[in-house]
Amino acid sequence: MDGKEHLLIAFQSFFDGSGGEKNMPRLTLAGMAADDSMWAEFDRGWNDILQSNDPPATYMHMREAMPLQGEFAGSKGWTNRKIYTLAYKLLKFMSEMDKTKFRQFMCTIDMDAYRKLELEGIRMDSAVEICSKCPETVLAWYVTKYPGIIQNLHFFFDQGEPFKEVFEKTWVANKNNVLGSHGADIFWGLLKTVTSADMRDYPALQAADMLAWSVNRDLTSTGDRPFKAWAHIMHQVVPTSGIIWDEERLRKQYEKN
């Protein structure tokens, strides 16, 4: 507490993308946001589930888990049913977090629609730039949601994510903008760190990976494909903010250009 009895709050947010490969039908960036008081509890609970599972795992990564590769190879005792059971345990744990302090975010682009508009000559921001506005939504949620004095913010992106560089440039430009009538943007100035981290070391990045992967799975799968409805379930049990850039939304935003 400070001398005026206002709560000083520090935050960390974690972001992971899915679908960045060439010609993929969707590009998604997902994030997990909470204040620092939540993350120690989250890390402990998430890791306990992984380590006590049969078979145990050291991290969760959907692109390894679904094809039963790497950490989740069949030779280690993994099956599709066991992957689903583990994912369910992790999601149940997430659903039990304080919903006033824990929220997930996502932005996804229909890349088929995006490429269609490109062929029509419509000028747009790059797909990565569009999705890189997702952390700005997180920043707005922090600033408007929490009472007291926000002390600092720290944003972490999974290693190799192109969104990090784009968002970092926006952050630097805004926090150093002293030309406006109010000087540097105070909200952007609260953000102290934009950096990369290894998802294997951060359960929050693993949770963001699960959301990003599931959103793409939902929007690109048909029929009863496993995990088809997983994103919908995640939205129901964890507070969620998100946007889907389909053809209609892209046209509305960019055709005027």
Q: In the prediction, which pLDDT does 183 show?
A: 46
CA distance 33 to 242: 13
Q: pLDDT tens for residues 52-61?
A: 999 999 999 9
Q: Which two tokens stand for residue 33?
A: 């946001």
Q: In the prediction, which pLDDT does 2 show?
A: 39
Q: pLDDT tens for residues 194-252?
A: 999 999 999 999 999 999 999 998 887 676 777 888 989 999 999 999 999 999 999 99
Which one is predicted more confidently, 209 or 38?
209
Ordered domains of the chain (ranges, CATH) = 8-38+100-254 (3.30.420.10)
Using only C-alpha atoms, the chain has a radius of gyration, in whole angstroms, of 19
Secondary structure string (H, E, C) spanning 103-151: EEEEEEEEHHHHHHHHHCCCCCCCHHHHHCCHHHHHHHHHHHHCCCEEE
Q: Which two tokens stand for residue 221?
A: 């799968």
Look up residue 91 and give its amino acid. L
Please state, for a pLDDT cut of 70, what percent of the chain lies above it: 90
Q: pLDDT tens for residues 7-25?
A: 566 789 999 999 977 788 9
Taking the model in full, what pTM does it have? Answer: 0.91
Cis bond upstream, residue 226 (ω within 30): no
